[in-house]
């Protein structure tokens, strides 16, 4: 096959995407649709179950279509005309594609959306069944019907509704990468640290180490700004190094920014910021734990920033002697007023908040520019006395090296500066309000890191090149002629600050936090910059905390917090979250003790940064095909280094705060893990589970089986697991945490219906097992017969060494009333299990296992109850409307009365059904279905170990006794022996069991197994098999031969005579069981084996019937005659 790629195809404006025959659009819409194709509950059990741009390929474009294509590829959205980039027909689908009729759709983004997607409407493509099955003939096609057939959606009328919905959504305020990410990140990274503490850091660490600290901090961190102003103004940590300090911070931020860019470009990013990125990557356990503390940290950060702002205002009031009350109360008053104003801006909407951020950024940029201008304005004597001499090479050289004082060191200075480098998640935290988060977050974040890093380094170098470390501030401290300078740059510039070595000075890099105000061209602008930095950071945190918290609550990870998930207005604003954040911020402002909480909040942010780095590493390490980030400039090991670096920085900042953070996160992780929220986000944790399981399964195949490691790995023919819960329960009891358990179901009947029913029920039945805490798998097959299906399961189930070795099946209690083919299939399954060398366990309980009739009645009653509740709700609603509507309510009474009558009718219907099914609702059957879930009281498990089958008959009951529900039961052993050797036989059995280390309560040697049963028991057996006997000896040879051909399944006289002794034994064993084990909690009995092709199916079923009749629950067990027990170490 060759494609026509000639230029003419693409240059033709009327050409279609494919070479197709267009179906006429003018015909009538007359298509036809094609549809896919109580008695008492039985006292028996059934065992048949019939019920990225740089990697784009070169593409040839049509004239005028390239812009359309780029827009489509970038946003993944429909264009204005709702066209495919190559299509020229709107709202039209072609059934004739690639030259033949088909409903097979072409690739379309709407098929891949999530349900409820904000960015577009999800469409359902035709199912494989619809495409695979024969298409109905003579389907008349119209534009509306074609759309429906192709997309699995309804008619064109629905498209109108969708377009209207999109129009409504167009009112959303969405931000681009500049206003939404760049501005916010720059404002959060530039804090009051820039104006107040940076000069001190460079003074301590020097220019060289200061730059390194900035670069390292920028490399590690990546999340929304920590309370830079509060940290700087409250001083919760102590000093460090210089330019190296700045450089170290840059390294930290950059690493995390790269990891975040990789994560947020691996698919559509919704609202929730750091929480969304972590939870979708590592799962709800990590996301839920970090999301809560991250939202709380942002809420407290609001208080920290506001207190920093309030302290600056109070300092100004204090200088002018205009305090309102006192310093601490003034901080509370100003802080409260500020938070209320910020809350008003936030509640007004994201658009107003964004405008405020832009204004604050302009003020901040003017303040920074004001500083750089001030460094080149010629200084005066007063500023010289305070240590400012403009740019001097001697000052640069003197300040290049470190000069740590007051016990400070590199890491203590780094701990002070590091929070100033945080804030790069300010844009990611409002990811739900961005036009294109995948493009905006990496672009805006990385550019913000670059710009702010250059600004920090530039300010650090400039201030350290202009201002000396120590200055007295006295204009009289000039150099006396003949004085030796000893290399001091101030001395060489004419000032003597030598007395600062022996007594404290108030000026210079090391002593004055207002150096930037002194150096700047206009001091008040620096104060305005401090105001801008604190208010912008507070505003960003006030927006971030509710947004992150709302996303967390929407996911319902913590069910008690779902109240805060509701949003209001066109932008789905979390008003309730704003109020909660306001309350938390106010509480901490009024407490005004932020010095203690600040280190913990810092570590909360750092824990988030660490997990973002780890998320990137983990997703790469899991090697999931779904990990395809458009951002390619990342490395999994660099991300892991960034995560470890963040954890290290946590301890550098404050070791006890780091321990508290880890403890809180661990507690929340355990809580979320225990609650197991019902979410599935395709996390990398799931991918790694699969990789580990696959590796373990492959590694297991290289290990030879050993008898010491034998464990029952069972196929249980339960059908749907909820239909025969007792059979599942007893199997689960000896496989839970010990071996493999597969609940299997065989569908027989028309293949198409069976396959459809099987596929639709797989997930539901596996979910039932999970919900009911059954550690088992569900498997189903569709087959022509029950036996063929089980044969397939016996051969194909399992994986590597994790293959079933035991078949568990319920006793077919209705064998006497069932069709001969059903009995043949049932016995054939037992023969097949032995052929495939599997152990066999047949379980019998008196009431049978099948409770499908009970479940059906319960389901009907639940539906009727739901209808009744719905009617009650309707009546209440109408009553409420009546109370509001005056005279209109009078005319509505008639309809209410009708509803009431309808309700009474429904209630009477429910009562009728309840009474009708009271006989069907077999309470004993329901109790029997749960008997193995209950704790077994003190009693015995009687083991009739009559034949050596390798030890499975003794191993199964031993496993039961080590389970919590059965541990009160003692083992009693019954085995055959000779009358004159009873004691010797007991000693032999006791010795064997002791070597196997199996505890027992008693050993009984049964000597009279082979004597004839009493006449009544034998008569009962003969009457039971009478309908299935051929009686050929009473007929002539011709008639007998004819009967044998017509009914080959019947028991012949010759067969009955040949196996008379064995029949006697089964009847006699039942008598002995009635005598010795009728009071046992459970009987485990050696299963008799029928020779294939010799013993007829009905005779074998008669043996099993008489052997286990009128007894407590019985397990008839036969191993595969290979050892499952050993006494060797």
Residue 196 DSSP symbol: H
The rounded distance, in Å, linking the Cα atoms of 974 and 1084 is 10
Count of Cβ atoms closer than 10 Å to residue 856 Cβ: 14
Residue 178 DSSP symbol: I
Structure confidence at residue 473 (pLDDT): 76
The rounded distance, in Å, linking the Cα atoms of 217 and 156 is 56
Residue 120 — very low, low, confident or very high, per pLDDT cuts 50/70/90? low
Which of the given ranges, 130-139, 347-356, 458-467, has the highest pLDDT on average?
A: 458-467
The rounded distance, in Å, linking the Cα atoms of 532 and 540 is 12
3-state DSSP assignment of residue 167: helix
Percent of the chain at pLDDT > 70 equals 72
Assess contact for 935 and 964: CB atoms under 8 A: yes
Structure confidence at residue 213 (pLDDT): 67
The rounded distance, in Å, linking the Cα atoms of 207 and 216 is 14
Structure confidence at residue 42 (pLDDT): 38
* Consecutive H or E run containing 605: helix 594-622
The rounded distance, in Å, linking the Cα atoms of 784 and 786 is 7
CB-based contacts of 38, cutoff 8 Å, min separation 6: 853, 857, 916, 917, 920
Structure confidence at residue 953 (pLDDT): 93
CB-based contacts of 1, cutoff 8 Å, min separation 6: none
Assess contact for 210 and 403: CB atoms under 8 A: no
CB-based contacts of 319, cutoff 8 Å, min separation 6: none
Structure confidence at residue 865 (pLDDT): 84
The rounded distance, in Å, linking the Cα atoms of 80 and 77 is 9
Contacts 24+ apart (CB under 8 A), 760-768: 761/720, 765/720, 765/721, 765/722, 768/721, 768/722
The rounded distance, in Å, linking the Cα atoms of 13 and 869 is 61
HSE at residue 807, side-chain half, CA atoms within 13 A, is: 29
The rounded distance, in Å, linking the Cα atoms of 477 and 483 is 13
Structure confidence at residue 776 (pLDDT): 92
Pair type for strands 806-810 and 839-844: parallel
Assess contact for 216 and 409: CB atoms under 8 A: no
DSSP state letters, 1042-1105: HHHHH-TTSBPHHHHHHTHHHHHHHHHHHHHHHHHSTT-SEEEEEPP-PPTTTS-HHHHHHHHH
pLDDT single digits (tens) 1025-1083: 999 988 888 777 888 788 888 888 888 888 999 999 999 999 999 999 999 999 999 99
CB-based contacts of 5, cutoff 8 Å, min separation 6: 60
The rounded distance, in Å, linking the Cα atoms of 999 and 36 is 59
Q: At what angle do helices 273-282 and 284-319 cross, to 10 degrees?
A: 160
Structure confidence at residue 83 (pLDDT): 39
CB-based contacts of 362, cutoff 8 Å, min separation 6: none
Residue 196 — very low, low, confident or very high, per pLDDT cuts 50/70/90? low
**Cα angle for residues 538, 542, 545 (degrees, 5° grid):** 130
pLDDT single digits (tens) 36-55: 434 443 333 333 333 333 44
pLDDT single digits (tens) 238-273: 222 344 555 555 565 666 666 666 655 555 556 666
**Mean pLDDT on 894-901:** 46
Indicate whether 578 pLDDT > 80: yes
Assess contact for 460 and 210: CB atoms under 8 A: yes
Report the range of poorest mean pLDDT among 163-167, 251-255, 497-501, 1002-1006: 163-167
CB-based contacts of 1011, cutoff 8 Å, min separation 6: 1068
The rounded distance, in Å, linking the Cα atoms of 206 and 592 is 34
CB-based contacts of 442, cutoff 8 Å, min separation 6: 257, 260, 261, 264, 265, 631
Residue 973 — very low, low, confident or very high, per pLDDT cuts 50/70/90? very high
Which of the given ranges, 82-86, 186-190, 535-539, has the highest pLDDT on average?
A: 535-539
Contacts 24+ apart (CB under 8 A), 992-1001: 993/954, 995/1127, 996/951, 996/954, 996/1125, 996/1126, 996/1127, 997/1127, 998/954, 998/958, 998/971, 999/961, 999/971, 1000/970, 1000/971, 1000/972, 1000/973, 1001/940, 1001/970, 1001/971, 1001/972
**Mean pLDDT on 1092-1114:** 93
Does the pTM of the predicted model rise above 0.85? no
CB-based contacts of 521, cutoff 8 Å, min separation 6: 370, 371, 373, 374, 377
pLDDT single digits (tens) 799-844: 888 899 999 999 999 999 999 999 999 999 999 999 999 999 999 9
Contacts 24+ apart (CB under 8 A), 147-150: 147/91, 147/93, 149/31, 149/93, 149/95, 149/103, 150/93, 150/95, 150/103, 150/105, 150/126
Indicate whether 899 pLDDT > 80: no
**Cα angle for residues 386, 387, 393 (degrees, 5° grid):** 165
Percent of the chain at pLDDT > 90 equals 19
HSE at residue 1090, side-chain half, CA atoms within 13 A, is: 24
Maximum CA extent, the chain: 150
**Mean pLDDT on 877-882:** 62
Helix residue spans in 221-242 (DSSP H): 228-234
Count of Cβ atoms closer than 10 Å to residue 404 Cβ: 18
**Cα angle for residues 59, 64, 65 (degrees, 5° grid):** 45
pLDDT single digits (tens) 650-659: 887 778 888 8
Assess contact for 162 and 120: CB atoms under 8 A: no
3-state DSSP assignment of residue 780: strand
Q: Which is more confident, 138 or 722?
A: 722
The rounded distance, in Å, linking the Cα atoms of 341 and 1006 is 92
What is the overall mean pLDDT for the chain? 74
668 burial (CB, 10 Å; 0-12 / 13-18 / 19+) is: buried
Q: Which is more confident, 579 or 556?
A: 579
* Consecutive H or E run containing 744: strand 741-748
DSSP state letters, 522-568: SHHHHHHHHHHHHHHHHHHHHHHHHHHHHHHHHTTSSGGGGGGG--B
For the chain, what is the radius of gyration of the CA atoms? 41
Assess contact for 391 and 466: CB atoms under 8 A: yes
């Amino acid at each position: 096959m060759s494609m026509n790629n000639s230029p003419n195809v693409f240059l033709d404006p009327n050409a279609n995407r494919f070479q197709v025959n267009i179906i006429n659009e003018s015909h009538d819409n007359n298509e036809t649709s094609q549809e896919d194709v109580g008695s008492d509950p039985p006292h028996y059990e059934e065992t048949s179950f019939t019920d990225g741009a740089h990697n784009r390929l070169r593409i040839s474009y049509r004239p005028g279509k390239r812009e359309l294509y780029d827009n489509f590829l970038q946003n993944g959205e429909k264009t204005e005309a709702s066209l495919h980039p190559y299509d020229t027909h709107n709202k039209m689908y072609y059934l004739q594609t690639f030259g033949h009729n088909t409903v097979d759709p072409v690739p379309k983004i709407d098929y891949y959306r999530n349900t409820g997607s904000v960015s577009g409407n999800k469409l359902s493509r035709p199912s494989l069944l619809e495409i695979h099955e024969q298409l109905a003939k003579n389907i008349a096609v119209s534009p509306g019907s074609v759309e429906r057939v192709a997309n699995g959606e309804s008619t064109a009328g629905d498209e109108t509704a969708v377009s209207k919905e999109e129009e409504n959504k167009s009112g959303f305020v969405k931000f681009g990468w500049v206003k939404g990410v760049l501005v916010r990140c720059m404002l959060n990274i530039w804090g009051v640290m820039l104006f107040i503490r940076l000069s001190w850091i460079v003074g301590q660490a020097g220019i060289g180490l200061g730059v390194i600290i900035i670069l390292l901090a920028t490399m590690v961190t990546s999340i929304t700004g920590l309370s830079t102003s509060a940290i700087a103004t409250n001083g919760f940590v102590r000093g460090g190094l210089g330019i190296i300090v700045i450089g170290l911070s840059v390294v930290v931020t950059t690493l995390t920014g790269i990891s975040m860019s990789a994560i947020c470009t691996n698919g559509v990013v919704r609202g929730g910021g750091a929480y969304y990125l972590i939870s979708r990557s590592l799962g709800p356990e990590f996301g839920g734990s970090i999301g809560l503390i991250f939202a709380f940290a942002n809420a407290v950060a609001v208080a920290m920033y506001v207190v920093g702002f309030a302290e600056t205002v109070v300092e100004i009031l204090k200088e002018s002697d205009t305090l309102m009350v006192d310093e601490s109360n003034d901080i509370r008053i100003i802080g409260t007023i500020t938070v209320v104003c910020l809350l008003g801006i936030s509640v007004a909407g994201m658009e107003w908040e964004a405008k405020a951020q832009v204004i604050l950024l302009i003020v901040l940029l003017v303040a920074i520019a004001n500083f750089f201008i001030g460094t080149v304005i010629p200084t005066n004597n007063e500023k010289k006395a305070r240590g400012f001499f403009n740019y001097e090479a001697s000052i640069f050289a003197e300040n290049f090296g470190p000069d740590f004082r007051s016990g400070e060191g590199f890491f203590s200075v780094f701990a002070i500066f590091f929070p100033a480098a945080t804030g790069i998640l300010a844009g990611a935290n409002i990811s739900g309000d961005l036009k294109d988060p995948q493009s905006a977050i990496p672009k805006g974040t990385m550019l913000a890191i670059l710009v702010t890093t250059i600004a920090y380094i530039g300010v650090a170098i400039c201030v350290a090149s202009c201002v000396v470390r120590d200055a007295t501030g006295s204009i009289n401290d000039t150099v006396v002629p003949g004085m030796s300078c000893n290399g001091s740059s101030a001395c060489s510039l004419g000032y003597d600050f030598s007395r600062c070595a022996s007594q404290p000075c108030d000026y210079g890099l090391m002593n004055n936090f207002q150096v930037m105000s002194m150096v700047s061209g206009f001091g008040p602008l620096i104060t305005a910059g401090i105001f801008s930095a604190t208010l912008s950071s507070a505003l960003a945190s006030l927006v971030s905390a509710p947004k992150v918290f709302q996303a967390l609550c929407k996911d319902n990870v913590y069910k008690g917090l779902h109240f805060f998930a509701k949003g209001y207005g066109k932008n789905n604003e979390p008003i309730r979250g704003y109020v909660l954040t306001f309350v938390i911020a106010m509480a901490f402002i009024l407490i005004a003790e932020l010095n203690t909480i600040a280190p913990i909040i810092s570590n909360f942010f750092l824990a988030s940064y660490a997990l973002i780095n780890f998320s990137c590493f983990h997703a790469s390490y899991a090697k999931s095909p779904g990990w395809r980030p458009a951002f390619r400039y990342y490395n999994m090991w660099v991300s892991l280094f960034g995560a470890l670096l963040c954890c290290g920085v946590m301890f550098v900042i404050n070791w006890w705060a780091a321990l508290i953070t880890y403890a809180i996160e661990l507690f929340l992780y355990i809580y979320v893990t225990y609650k197991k929220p019902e979410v599935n986000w395709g996390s990398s944790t799931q991918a790694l589970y699969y990789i580990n399981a696959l590796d373990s399964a492959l590694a297991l195949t290289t290990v030879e089986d050993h008898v010491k490691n034998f464990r029952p790995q069972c196929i249980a023919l339960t059908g749907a697991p909820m239909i025969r819960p007792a059979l599942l329960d007893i199997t689960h009891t000896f496989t839970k945490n010990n071996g493999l358990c597969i609940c299997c179901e065989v569908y027989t009947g028309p293949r198409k219906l069976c396959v459809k029913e099987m596929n639709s029920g797989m997930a539901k039945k596996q979910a039932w097992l999970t919900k009911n805490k059954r550690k088992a798998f569900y498997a189903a097959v569709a087959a022509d017969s029950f036996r063929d299906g089980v044969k397939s399961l016996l051969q194909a189930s399992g994986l590597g060494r994790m293959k079933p070795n035991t078949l568990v099946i319920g006793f077919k209690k209705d064998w006497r009333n069932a069709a001969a083919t059903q009995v043949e299939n049932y016995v054939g399954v037992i023969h097949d299990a032995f052929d495939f060398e599997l152990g066999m366990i047949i379980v019998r309980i008196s009431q049978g296992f099948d409770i499908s009739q009970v479940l059906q009645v319960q389901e009907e009653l639940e539906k009727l109850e739901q209808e009744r509740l719905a009617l009650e709700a309707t009546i209440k609603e109408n009553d409420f409307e009546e109370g509001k509507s005056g005279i209109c309510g009078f005319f509505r009474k008639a309809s209410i009365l009708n509803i009431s009558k309808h309700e009474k009718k429904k209630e009477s219907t429910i009562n009728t059904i309840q009474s009708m099914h009271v006989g069907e609702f077999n309470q004993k059957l329901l109790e029997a279905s749960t008997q193995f879930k209950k704790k077994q009281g003190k009693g015995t498990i009687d083991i009739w170990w009559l034949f050596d089958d390798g030890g499975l008959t003794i191993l199964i009951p031993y496993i039961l006794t080590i389970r919590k529900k059965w541990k009160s039961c003692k083992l009693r052993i019954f085995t055959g022996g000779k009358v004159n050797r009873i004691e010797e036989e007991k000693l032999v059995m006791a010795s064997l069991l002791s070597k196997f280390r199996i505890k027992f309560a008693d050993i009984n040697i049964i000597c009279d197994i082979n004597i004839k049963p009493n006449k009544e028991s034998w008569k009962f057996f003969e009457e039971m098999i009478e309908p299935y006997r051929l009686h050929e000896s009473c007929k002539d040879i011709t008639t007998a031969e004819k009967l044998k051909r017509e009914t080959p399944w019947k028991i012949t006289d010759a067969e009955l005579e040949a196996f008379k002794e064995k029949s006697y034994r089964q009847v006699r064993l039942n008598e002995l069981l009635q005598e010795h084990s009728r009071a046992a909690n459970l009987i485990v009995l050696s299963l008799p084996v029928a020779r294939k092709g010799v013993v007829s199916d009905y005779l074998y079923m008669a043996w099993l019937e008489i052997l286990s009749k009128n007894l407590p629950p019985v397990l008839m067990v036969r191993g595969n005659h290979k050892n499952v027990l050993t006494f060797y170490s």
